[in-house]
Chains A and B, each alone.
Chain A
Amino acid sequence: MKKLLGILGLFIVVFGFTAVQNPKFISAYNMENLLNWTGLFGILGVGAAFVIITGGIDLSIGSVVGLVGCLLPLFIMDHGVPVPLAILSVMLIAALIGLTHGLLITKLNLQPFVVTLCGLLIYRGVARFITADQTMGFGNTHGDLRKLATGKLAIPGLTEATKFDLPIPFLILFILMVVGAIFLDKTIWGRYLLALGRNEQAARYSGIKTDRLTIMSYVICSTLAGFGGIMFMLDLNSVQPSSHGSFYELYAIAAAVLGGCSLRGGEGSIIGVVIGMAVLRLLYNASNLLGIPTQLEFTIIGAVILAGAIVDEVAKRLVHRMRQAKQQR
């Protein structure tokens, strides 16, 4: 809860500062844009959070986004697969990727870092190979399908001057966030995931099928990466197989960490991850509007996360010391 307030505070500070510095920031156009990107990236962040909560990591998210982004137009445009079937197939492929990761990690005891790093390399290569590195997209066709990612929902009751449309990706993220948060905080499986992330042995000794849960978390992560991949593809409509989705896993992981997930596992909140992603997108957007060279984008994001980690650790020590003092009373 405290972490959530911390990240929310950071969001408000950067938001307020940027708004004061550049009035264009709070224009409906810019806000819609910000929400749109938060929505797209947030989908990946929610998936990453599940894996990170188990104490694992998934480095292949960006490559799955890239692979799905290539497969979907390939199926539909080049092979004439019906749209629903194509979407179902790519989602299934993403889920199978997650299942493979999970099985390798639990049954063969391979390290998540290694498994998903290899995944990162493999899926990228496959994407480039099957497309022969050609740019993929729908061209002018399938405008209705693309509405799923580019569409906006007008908020009723607003005048022309205050008109504001809600981007559909953000709406989807919001639904995902609510479902994810309920799953993690209220269901027994969410509690199991947290227990397994904290102390896998104790969880197993308590009768929890930890392997199954770990596999489930990798399936959720890759499936959401696949879903995110579809959304990104529809949004951009122009996919470069060699670079589409590159580094997106790092955004997802960074958002999860900013949002209060511990890479040691057993800790984290879905709402925190979404706010974390909003902060990342906000920083990107703000540095654009404030005239900070875009080359510095990663530097700023890195510096903010590092500062967050330092503040978090210092705060934790203070709390620990206070609690100990209280214990001894």
Chain B
Amino acid sequence: MNHPLLEVRIVTKYFPGVVALKQVSLTLEAGEVLALIGENGAGKSTLMKILAGIQQPDLGKLFWNGKEADIDSVEAAMELGIALIHQELNLADNLDIGSNIFLGREPRNKLGIVNRRIIREESRKVLERVGLDFDPRTSLTKLSIGQQQLVEIAKALSMNAKVLIMDEPTSSLSSKETRRLFKVVKDLKQQGVSVIYIAHRLGEVKELADRVVVFRDGQNSGELAKEEISHDRMVQLMVGRDVSQLYERTPHKPGDEILKVTDLASPAFPDAKNNFSIRAGEIVGLAGLIGAGRTELLRVLFGIDDAVSGTIEVAGKPREFEHPRDAIEAGMVLVPEDRKGQGLVIDWPLDMNGSLPGLNRHLKQKAFIDKRNEIETAERMIDDLNIKTPNRKQILQFLSGGNQQKVVLGKWLSLEPKILLLDEPTRGIDVGAKEEIYHLMDKLAAEGLAVLFVSSELEEIMGVSDRVLVMHEGKVTGELARSDLTEESIMQLATGQELATAH
């Protein structure tokens, strides 16, 4: 009889007060790439932690090659050949590649001295398997995030991993690095290694996965064979609703030009001069590859970095932004890319975060905080944006990513801005919250707000924007009207090519 390599049979996992996994089952064949998808909190990570030995199931069993396996520790998982590649990389960037690969299990000679020669030779072999052409003595700091990830995979391979579990591996990779990772995954598959791949970008799943397993609310909600995989089917199984709602739009009537940028250059790309303008009541997408200078441009617009050259006009008036305070006073606000580091004081309660930018305005009475107004602002924000929180005193780190992002939006909207800058506004948040944020953007534009948003997800750019600016090497190289939006046209501009066809 033929057994799957790995089988999860009716596993249930309780956390205090909540059932994280309800009778979940899953199989994995040797040399198979299995994509696991689901909204945040659907139980994907919990199951992966169980497979990697970090947590143990309360009910149900695990089988390895048909034999019951007791994976009660990370060591036990590694012994079988299961390795987890974390979302946040677990490497020591003060060491070189080889030392990282052999960290904690360095080959030693009789005197107890580390044998560097063996490290080098063995490291070379695994680096080759992941297609990394680096000397193992290279410092990790010289590597890009994508390359570091490959080192982590190489490390797993050096421990004879037969199953690699990857948790959202492409979330911080450029498209080129993503390509490369995919090639490595395909090569490894040829070599008989299985991969369980927790995916956030559905576009990638179709290309890479042999099979898709979908979780919803801690349960299996469906499974798709390779030929059945489609974007709509996946979203449907994940959210249990129709996709066309996701990008539902109301017609926008763009008004006067509200933001005009002339010859603006950011410190990262001092020679790239940008010229564009945005009208009230329109949503403009800012597309481009990672590292194209989009975040840098927003930082200059918001007064975090000084412009190298150029001028910014808001509602026809030239403005100089030396500090975010200046931009805020001109009616322009930024929802930054790094929600936890820049957007929020994450270990503060909701109400104190919500009031922070308004303290020197409507929440001030002389020098004192208007406590009652602060409370009302928080309560209104919770109602208006449908923030799921026990109360306004909730510490934000205990809220989901989507609800955290709503707090960032809410703190700005309480100032009634005219221009809303958003940097990757839906990164790391679940589909349900994404839908709410898209609808909010749509509603705000309909009310006359100008929205400029950076996104690396093409579907999102195409679904939400009235107009798209595409950046390449620090410069806006092209503009596309909604009717001209195709994945190809955006990618062509993003990679610095002229548009192939006139339209």
Residues of A within 8 A of B (CB): 186-189, 191-192, 195, 198-199, 201-209, 266, 323-329
Closest 6 CB pairs of A and B: A329-B17, A325-B16, A207-B325, A188-B359, A207-B328, A206-B356
Q: Are A206 and B324 in contact (CB under 8 A)?
A: yes
Q: A207-B328, A329-B16 are in contact. Are A202 and B368 (CB under 8 A)?
A: no
How many angstroms from the CA of A226 to the CA of B15 in the assembled complex?
55
Of the residues B18, B341, B364, B411, contact of A206 by C-beta under 8 Å: B411
A203 to chain B, nearest CB (A): 7
Q: Are B324 and A199 in contact (CB under 8 A)?
A: no
Q: Are B345 and A198 in contact (CB under 8 A)?
A: yes
Binds A, one of B103-111, B155-163, B172-180, B346-354: B346-354
Of the residues B15, B17, B325, B368, contact of A188 by C-beta under 8 Å: B368
Q: Are B367 and A195 in contact (CB under 8 A)?
A: no
Chain A residue at smallest Cβ distance from B394: A327
How many angstroms from the CA of A326 to the CA of B16 in the assembled complex?
8
B344 in the interface (beta carbon within 8 A): yes
Q: Are A208 and B368 in contact (CB under 8 A)?
A: no
Chain A residues in 8 Å Cβ range of B368? 186-188
Chain B residue at smallest Cβ distance from A327: B398
Q: List 12 A-B contacts (CB under 8 A).
A: A186-B368, A188-B363, A188-B368, A189-B367, A195-B348, A198-B347, A202-B341, A202-B356, A204-B304, A204-B323, A205-B336, A207-B325
A197 to chain B, nearest CB (A): 10
B402 to chain A, nearest CB (A): 16
Chain B residues in 8 Å Cβ range of A326? 17
Q: Are A188 and B369 in contact (CB under 8 A)?
A: yes
B397 to chain A, nearest CB (A): 10
Most buried by B among A187, A201, A207, A266: A207
A92 to chain B, nearest CB (A): 24
Of the residues B15, B342, B345, B357, contact of A207 by C-beta under 8 Å: B357
B382 in the interface (beta carbon within 8 A): no
Of the residues B15, B324, B398, B411, contact of A204 by C-beta under 8 Å: B324
How many angstroms from the CA of A207 to the CA of B18 in the assembled complex?
39
Chain A residues in 8 Å Cβ range of B357? 206-207
Chain B residue at smallest Cβ distance from A199: B345
Q: Are A187 and B15 in contact (CB under 8 A)?
A: no
Chain A residue at smallest Cβ distance from B356: A206
Chain B residues in 8 Å Cβ range of A324? 16
Q: Of residues 301 to 356 in B, which have CB atoms within 8 Å of A's CB atoms?
A: 302, 304, 323-325, 327-328, 334, 336, 341-348, 352, 356
Q: Are B323 and A209 in contact (CB under 8 A)?
A: yes
Chain B residue at smallest Cβ distance from A185: B369
Q: Are A328 and B16 in contact (CB under 8 A)?
A: yes
B138 in the interface (beta carbon within 8 A): no
Q: A195-B356, A199-B341 are in contact. Are A207 and B16 (CB under 8 A)?
A: no
Of the residues B304, B327, B343, contact of A202 by C-beta under 8 Å: B343
Given A205-B343, A209-B323, 16 more A-B residue pairs with CB atoms under 8 Å apart are A187-B368, A191-B352, A191-B359, A195-B352, A199-B341, A202-B342, A202-B356, A204-B323, A205-B324, A205-B334, A206-B324, A207-B323, A207-B324, A208-B356, A328-B16, A329-B16
Chain B residues in 8 Å Cβ range of A209? 323, 325
How many angstroms from the CA of A328 to the CA of B411 in the assembled complex?
26
Q: Are A328 and B345 in contact (CB under 8 A)?
A: no
Chain A residue at smallest Cβ distance from B14: A328
Chain A residues in 8 Å Cβ range of B391? none
How many angstroms from the CA of A270 to the CA of B344 in the assembled complex?
25
How many angstroms from the CA of A203 to the CA of B341 in the assembled complex?
10
Q: Are B345 and A202 in contact (CB under 8 A)?
A: yes
Chain A residue at smallest Cβ distance from B374: A191
Q: Are B359 and A328 in contact (CB under 8 A)?
A: no
B115 in the interface (beta carbon within 8 A): no
B262 in the interface (beta carbon within 8 A): no
Chain A residue at smallest Cβ distance from B347: A198
Chain A residues in 8 Å Cβ range of B304? 204-205
How many angstroms from the CA of A198 to the CA of B397 in the assembled complex?
14
Chain A residues in 8 Å Cβ range of B343? 202, 205
Chain A residue at smallest Cβ distance from B17: A329
Q: Of residues 77 to 132 in B, which have CB atoms within 8 Å of A's CB atoms?
A: none
Chain A residue at smallest Cβ distance from B366: A187
Q: A187-B368, A188-B367, A329-B18 are in contact. Are A203 and B356 (CB under 8 A)?
A: yes
Q: Are B345 and A195 in contact (CB under 8 A)?
A: yes
Chain B residues in 8 Å Cβ range of A204? 304, 323-324
Chain A residue at smallest Cβ distance from B364: A188
Q: Are A191 and B369 in contact (CB under 8 A)?
A: yes
Q: A195-B345, A328-B15 are in contact. Are A186 and B369 (CB under 8 A)?
A: yes
Interface string of B1-24 (1 = CB under 8 A from A): 000000000000001111000000
B360 in the interface (beta carbon within 8 A): yes
How many angstroms from the CA of A201 to the CA of B359 in the assembled complex?
17
Chain B residues in 8 Å Cβ range of A206? 324, 356-357, 411
How many angstroms from the CA of A209 to the CA of B302 in the assembled complex?
14
Chain A residues in 8 Å Cβ range of B323? 204, 207, 209
Q: Are B341 and A187 in contact (CB under 8 A)?
A: no
Q: Are B16 and A201 in contact (CB under 8 A)?
A: no
Interface string of B357-387 (1 = CB under 8 A from A): 1011001100111000000000000000000
How many angstroms from the CA of A195 to the CA of B360 in the assembled complex?
14
Chain B residues in 8 Å Cβ range of A328? 15-18
B394 to chain A, nearest CB (A): 9
Q: Are B367 and A187 in contact (CB under 8 A)?
A: yes
How many angstroms from the CA of A156 to the CA of B17 in the assembled complex?
60
Q: Are B359 and A192 in contact (CB under 8 A)?
A: yes
Chain B residues in 8 Å Cβ range of A198? 345, 347-348
How many angstroms from the CA of A192 to the CA of B357 in the assembled complex?
10
Chain A residues in 8 Å Cβ range of B18? 328-329
